[in-house]
Amino acid sequence: MPINIGYLGPQGTFTEEAMDMWIESQKHDTINKHNRIEYSSIPKLVNALAAGELDEAVVPVENSLEGSVNVTVDMLIHEVNVMIKGELVLPIRQCLLAKENIPLRNIEEVFSHPQALYQSIGFINDRLPQAKTRETLSTAEAARIVSERGERTAAIGSRRLAGIYGLNILAEDIQGNKNNMTRFYVLSSNDAARTGRDKTAVVFSTENRPGSLFNSLGVFASRNLNLTKIESRPSKKMLGEYVFFIEVEGHREDGVLKQALETLKQHAGFIKMLGSYPVFRDDVLFGKGNGKRDSVLLQKRKEAFEKLVYGPVRKAYPPAGGEESV
């Protein structure tokens, strides 16, 4: 039967790319097919999943340069009861896009999502000092606006958007940091089964007294369980009161972690399980070949992915839009 999967649209967003990665990793499922459904905001997307309109939803949760996507984290903590069943990591390579192949000095406005503008601020200040920045809801919306307005405007977004909206790539890898990666959650009504290489996400609160957080985290340290993430978020009850969002290595059904979580209940005033899920690995996308021909094809796909993720970011910007290289 079909699986309805939602993503943050419109077409061409990095979230759509992450969703495609997830669907690719599920190719072993030859019975169920995925119906892709786009949503205009993260709250609409997550609420649709919680309401049963979707079977799965792909949402951004963390960027290596800017930290957590707070709207995603806060919805999981406070507003919905859904589970994390998977994670994906996507390299973010930003490009400068325009309808015409124009010199950079002619660009008067640059449109993009606030995060993309921030990630590319060095390029903007260096190469587009005359241009005004304009915030949009997504990089895809920015590309659409530029495709309609054309002259003297540019967008910042993925190479993929150039093909979708018929734009020229004036410059590539303008994000200024080769380690610009975004992590995504795959949400559903249930989390994932144990794989032996898992993580578990939990949110909890503690009493406002000395040592309470130390004692809570100690249940993991005393059992040699590694915390891969810890973050405080407002409780939304009163100023200065916080809850703690953590990710810990292991599956919630693993004996040691299961024991730690039971002990945590003794120290926590509130605890909410967000799910256990496999640690992202790029080889999950490729599986194992069923023969020599399959193995060759899978290896080529793996090499292409590794080149995308781990390939070097250019040290110098390429000649762009009618400008001659010096």
Catalytic residue IDs: 182, 184
| Residues forming a β-bridge with 219 | none
Element (H, E) at 10: none
Strand ranges across the sheet with 227-234: 227-234, 242-249, 198-206, 268-278
| Residues forming a β-bridge with 48 | none
Contacts of 116 (CB under 8 A, 6+ apart): 94, 139, 142, 156, 157, 175
Q: Which amino acid is at 33?
A: K
In 77-226, which ranges are E strands? Answer: 83-91, 95-98, 109-112, 132-135, 153-157, 168-171, 181-188, 198-206
Would you state the structure tokens that stand for residue 149, as one six-digit string?
A: 């307005």
> Are 104 and 323 contacting, i.e. CB atoms less than 8 angstroms apart?
yes
DSSP 249-308: ES-TTSHHHHHHHHHHHHHEEEEEEEEEEEPP-GGGGT---SSHHHHHHHHHHHHHHHHH
Q: How far apart are CA 139 and CA 146, in angstroms?
A: 11
State the sign of the Cα–Cα–Cα–Cα dihedral 220, 222, 226, 231.
Answer: positive
